[in-house]
């Protein structure tokens, strides 16, 4: 099993510490979401993992070895950092052929990965004529050339249409299903909700959370329950008497905290109150994420904003 191990990783650009004593592990067989606001240090961390940037402290290893010491890098790690990083005048096939040749990989791998990402029919066309979605696929094909056990994708769905996003999500899942370690960065929490098993959240280069997706939700959800009853005012008194905290919700509903939905249901049954709604309020991942990272966002806009951030 090949893991990515990041230990005490630190990177400074002049007086700014971009990555600050960061430690986490990306295990095999899972999609690990690497989350943080723009400028949090995600890309820099990934570039250090790949040996493209030199850390000022700490280490990043793949299966215990520094990237630079991997004898045949493409067979161990596949990475897509920037889908635009292709020469526009080179065909997709030649782009991949050059990469395959540099690692001594057989020519047939090029056709195999082109087929896997669905680009066989345009393999002979210039990459410059590709849409963003096609370039993403080409980048993924390049990452898969050596059939690596570890995959690293930096913001792979950025700018894609819904169809492309869905394809990439499913693709990540299938890669992890094959037992590979997959590290995917995003600044969009909602993106991760559907893809990741595990979350590493950073802000201003520091680790904020390193946890499973469901634990993350449970720990960070606000745990209130929305209740709608025929006689809301009376039931509110019953709830308060039973130890819950009640405040008024929208359209004469009640927002109850410190009590589970099951307890509220039993209380209603006991008092013979008919409930028309009993809905546990799960904080959206986006809300949780915003709350977690609000202190660490590099540049706040002048206007407060709520909900989904783009």
Partner 1 sequence: MSTHPAFADTLRGEWIKFRSLRSTWLTLGGLVVIGLGITVLSADASVASYPTATVEERQDWDPTNRSLLMYMVAQLVIGVLGILVVTSEYATGLMQTSLSATPRRHRLLGAKVAVVTAVAVVSGQVLMLTSFLIGQARFVASGLPYATLDDPRALSAVVGGGLYLAVIGLLTVGLGTIMRATAGALATLVGIVLLVPPLADLFPWLDGLFAFWPTLGGAAVMETVVNPDHPHPWLNLAGMGAGALAVLAVAFVLFERRDV
Who contacts 148 (Cβ-Cβ below 8 Å, separation ≥6)? 74, 75, 76, 77, 78, 180
Residue 71 DSSP SS3? coil
Q: What angle, rounded to 10 degrees, do the helices at 132-144 and 92-102 form?
A: 20
Q: With respect to partner 1, which residue has the nearer C-beta, 30 or 93?
A: 93
CB of 91 to partner 1, least distance (A): 7
- The length of the chain is 310
In the complex, what is the shortest distance from the CB of residue 46 to partner 1, in angstroms, rounded to a whole number?
10
Q: Give the closest residue to 232 by CA, choosing from 202, 206, 255.
A: 255
Closest CB to partner 1 among residues 124, 240: 124
Please give the structure tokens belonging to residue 265: 């249901």
99/199 with CB nearer partner 1? 99
Minimum CB distance to partner 1, residue 198 (Å): 24
Binders of partner 1 in range 245-304 (CB under 8 A) = none
Pick the closer one to partner 1 by CB: 70 or 201: 70
Instruction: Give 119-133 as a DSSP string.
Output: -GGGTTSBGGG--HH
Q: Select 97 or 175, whichever has its Cβ closest to partner 1.
A: 97
Min dist. Cβ of residue 65 to partner 1 (A)? 11
CB distance 207 to 19 below 8 Å: no
Size of the site for partner 1 (CB under 8 A): 41
Measured from the CB of residue 187, what is the shortest distance to partner 1 in angstroms? 19
Binding mask 49-78 for partner 1 (x = CB under 8 A): -xxxxx------------xx-xxxxxx-x-
Q: Which is nearer to partner 1, 25 or 103 (CB)?
A: 103
Q: Between 78 and 117, how does the x/- string for binding to partner 1 read (CB under 8 A)?
A: -x-xx-xxxxxxxx--xx-xxxxxxxxxx-----------
Of the pair 98, 274, the CB lying nearest partner 1 is at 98
Q: What is the C-alpha separation between 220 and 197, in angstroms, rounded?
A: 16
Q: Which two tokens stand for residue 184?
A: 């995917």
Which DSSP letter does residue 55 get? -
- Quote the least distance from Cβ 100 to partner 1, whole Å: 8
Choose the stretch contacting partner 1; rule: CB under 8 A; options: 24-32, 142-150, 245-253, 278-286: 142-150
Name all contacts of 273-277 with Cβ < 8 Å and 24+ positions apart. Answer: 273/229, 273/230, 273/231, 273/234, 273/235, 273/238, 274/229, 274/230, 275/227, 275/228, 275/229, 276/228, 276/229, 276/230, 277/226, 277/227, 277/228, 277/253
Distance between terminal CA atoms of the chain?
Answer: 36
The single residue among 146, 164, 203, 205 that binds partner 1, judged by CB under 8 A, is 146
Contact region for partner 1 (CB under 8 A) — 44-52, 171-179, 198-206, 265-273? 44-52
Q: Which residues bind partner 1 (CB under 8 A)?
A: 47, 50-54, 67-68, 70-75, 77, 79, 81-82, 84-91, 94-95, 97-106, 142, 146-147
């Amino acid at each position: 099993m090949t893991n990515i191990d990041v230990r005490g990783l630190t990177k400074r650009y002049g007086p700014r510490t971009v990555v600050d004593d960061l430690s986490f592990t990306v295990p095999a067989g899972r999609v690990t979401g690497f989350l943080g606001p723009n400028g949090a240090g995600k890309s820099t961390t990934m570039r250090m993992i790949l040996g493209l940037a030199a850390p000022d402290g700490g280490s990043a290893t793949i299966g215990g070895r520094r990237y630079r010491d991997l004898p045949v890098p493409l067979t161990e790690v596949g990475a897509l950092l920037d889908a635009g990083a292709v020469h526009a005048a080179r065909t997709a096939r030649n782009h991949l052929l050059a990469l395959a040749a540099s690692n001594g990989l057989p020519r047939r791998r090029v056709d195999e990965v082109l087929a896997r990402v669905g680009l066989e029919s345009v393999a002979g066309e210039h990459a410059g004529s590709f849409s963003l979605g096609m370039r993403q696929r080409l980048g993924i094909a390049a990452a898969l050339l050596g059939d690596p056990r570890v995959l690293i994708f930096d913001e792979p769905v950025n700018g894609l249409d819904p169809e492309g996003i869905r394809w990439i999500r499913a693709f990540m899942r299938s890669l992890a299903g094959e037992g590979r370690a997959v590290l995917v960065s995003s600044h969009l929490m909602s993106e991760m909700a559907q893809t990741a098993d595990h979350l590493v959240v950073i802000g201003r280069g520091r680790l904020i959370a390193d946890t499973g997706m469901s634990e993350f939700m449970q720990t960070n959800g606000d745990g209130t329950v929305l209740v709608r009853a025929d006689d809301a005012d009376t039931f509110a008194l019953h709830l308060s008497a039973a130890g819950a905290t009640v405040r008024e919700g929208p359209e004469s509903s009640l927002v109850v905290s410190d009590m589970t939905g099951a307890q509220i249901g039993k209380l209603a049954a006991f008092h013979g109150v008919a409930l028309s709604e009993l809905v546990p309020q799960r904080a959206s991942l986006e809300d949780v994420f915003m709350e977690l990272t609000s202190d660490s966002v590099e540049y706040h806009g002048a206007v407060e904003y709520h909900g989904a951030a783009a």
